[in-house]
Structure 1
């Protein structure tokens, strides 16, 4: 999938496509329904597909630290969209200039002059432009005059619930990983590059792979039984995601300890697949209590995987969990 950053990087060969736009945070089943409709139209018209997203997401721009937790960063979103068979991803910087663009100017500058859209599909509640004045009806009105078709996808339901990024966030925050996976169409996962930490766990015989998290608002917190993956190598593991209140409580971090395996992970991109929440994150009176709880968490993770051997792969297995492809390298520098 081709990544295009900004309108200034659009070239003549990018004009003429079927497109959709939005946050696509998490690329859940509702998003996948929009993408399926997009691909159907692309095949019918013999045109490439294009998804338009914004960085930061608009609510992050306006609300800053009060914005909802991000389900997927741009790198992971790129991979998830690529796995859906999308041809191009156009990423626009959401800034004051774009924020001030009225809806009609957005259609003209971005959709018509920039992309040459011939078919557009949006969610049933989609709003855009300055003060969110643009909607499906405006797109239809302009499309009739400009010569492009517009369709919307109705609310996607699963088990009598509306599938949305907001609902997925609520489920993750409450520890309901199973229902969140139903709405996502896959287990929830986070990926990132392994960095050096304080190596406190190594001193206790439980070395951890540390992943710095870019957003202060986390979609889930606590201690989890997880699967850790690098390329085609998968290991059962235990992970803590949060602010480590017993250590520093300043910077959010994801720490992963592999069970019964050793691997040199520094500098590599690690994919962490969340299987079950073991407990909430908590502050301990001293490091000795923290150490003892870490040992107990490791045993809880072992017990979980022992009880679910039929569901999960064994250490170092090369097969893919839930038939979901690994996140391959992407042309993004973060």
Structure 2
């Protein structure tokens, strides 16, 4: 329960700076830093444990996804529900803090499937490192795809969205299934933050989360020739940080070897964001973190297993909810992470 409470505290801070306007994103410049893919998924550290939200509890066996007959007709759905709906109902949905997923309904066989991509051990663990007793840091930030039988229409419709966006053939679905397996083996870690130089400005780092998966999955279906219903308009949540140009610090071993004081500063920064601590200490650390980010204008970002220094600047942090159009067919994009788009 501690992870859920801590995450709600984090979202509480975000809501101070939330922007609920709805508008269309537009393309930006050569940034962001490309998301690093891996040759294969590494073993998950046994120290990392889920709290109240186990990963994919009813999912199919890992690295399996159903195959359809080539001539099957398959409906594709976009799904949205408020984060922590199981605990708080529509509370976070009121602020557009949404979880995204997708579903497939095979009209020939009658079988339905839900496909999601999310954190293995909850959001807070993917956002901040664990600082261990010896002052070393451990990241529990893997994310992965989960596919399970059936679609809980009531769950998605009660406070969120369940809308058909396309109909594809079984052949297209099978191609997509192969892509999902590849994506799940090479895109292994979750990234909470999107980092910009200013609202509507240049993007430094793109997030990699549940919405990111749905967007790149839709793009891949578009590459396979899927005709999406362009009358459907879907919005996606971003958690944004704002800073001047980031400074690459390197991986932690390099930093420790060349600049022990900097390594200590990074460790101290993340020690303020520990979910497993008494509430009194948590509040003290929260105030210290507020001072560090909003008064001293500094944030240490972990991205591609390297640390970056962010010289923070107003508005510092903002949660946004913006429309991203469904793709046109046969786009043949090279990028498989979030579009290089502006966000306000």
The TM-score by the shorter chain falls in which range? under 0.3
Structure with greater helix share of residues: 1
Bigger Rg over Cα: 1
Q: Which TM-score applies when normalising by structure 2?
A: 0.21
Higher relative contact order (CA 8 A, sep 6+): 2
